[in-house]
Amino acid sequence: MDLSFLPAYTVFTSIALSVAIVYLLLCWAVVLGNGVLRRFRPTRPASCRPGEVIHQALKITGRRLDQFRNAALLFGVAMLMLTLFGRLDWWPEAPLWGFGLIAFAATALQGFGVAKIVQLTRYRMRLSKLLEKHVAMAQRLAEAQLRGNRVYHSVPVGDAIIDNVIVGPNGVYSLHLFPPPVDDCESVALFNTDLLFQPNDVRYDLSQYRKNIGALVKALKDGIGSKVVVLPVIAIPDCLIEPSEENLPMVVSLESCTSFVGWKEPKAFLMNDELEAINRWLAKQSLETQSDSMRDVATLLDSQVPRPALV
């Protein structure tokens, strides 16, 4: 196309603005393309790291954040060029509504990009804080290992991920980390099978957590051929644990998360052959595949860190 009739600054500005917009569209196309092609790609092995789902979420959101930062940089350069040309009165003659339409479109696109970057950054900050708590809990679980137990982190069971599964002579324990849904949490207690956080009476529904425990029980039964009792334990950081008449699940603080080793339920005791079978099954389960889809990963994390609308 012959653009020689246009001023040089108009051509260069159009090219810069087009590159920024095309790059942003390509970022979206890559995300959508990965979603479509994911079923046809070989899945990668799962990891046994503490907070594995959070690691994956940080990896995916970090990649997206880099893409939008680059797009924002290109867009900013294009807008700077347009502003400079306007100050030099190099703009061609055009109707006022045309300039208004361009300004509105540019402002809307820029606002969306800024909102996207801000939400991604805040989401990653919350994920990083949660990962620190998972690592701290894993360090404390070393005490349980010294008492003859084996600890498995991030065990995939169906569509769920069990944060920690501890196996020992006293039984199988499922230890899950629940961060308080509010920052000013003073205390928490079990109330009508749910968690009740004070002082704002924030109720957290444990129905999905109980389904995940049921899925683990069923998977263990199918895996070793005999019924296994799983003792559920919930660890809540930065919150005082109030006593409750209900005893299932067991609720502990992050600092005392290893106190469950003193919980002895005769029905949960294991024989040596059962211990070996369960450990073999869990070791194999840790090598199963897991999803790298942000939608799947965020769904697993919604109970701990709600995902913003634009992430």
pLDDT tens readout for residues 156-194: 887 788 999 999 888 999 999 988 877 778 889 888 888
Buried b (16+ CB within 10 A) or exposed e, 165-175: bbbbebbbbbb
Residue 42 confidence class, pLDDT cut points 50, 70, 90: very low
pLDDT digits (tens, 9 = 90+) for 48-77: 688 888 888 898 888 888 878 877 777 777
Q: Is the pLDDT of residue 81 over 60?
A: yes
Report strand pairing: 150-157 vs 230-236.
Answer: unpaired
Q: Is the pLDDT of residue 83 over 60?
A: yes
Most confident range (mean pLDDT) of 46-55, 130-139, 246-255 is 130-139
In this prediction, residue 198 carries a pLDDT of 86
Average confidence score pLDDT of the chain? 79
Residue 291 confidence class, pLDDT cut points 50, 70, 90: low
| Type of residue numbered 77 | V
Going by C-beta distance under 8 Å and a sequence separation of 6 or more, which residues neighbour residue 96? none
Going by C-beta distance under 8 Å and a sequence separation of 6 or more, which residues neighbour residue 125? none
pLDDT digits (tens, 9 = 90+) for 295-310: 566 666 666 676 776 6
Q: Can you tell me the mean pLDDT for 222-231?
A: 90
Domain ranges (residues) in the chain? 8-137, 149-301
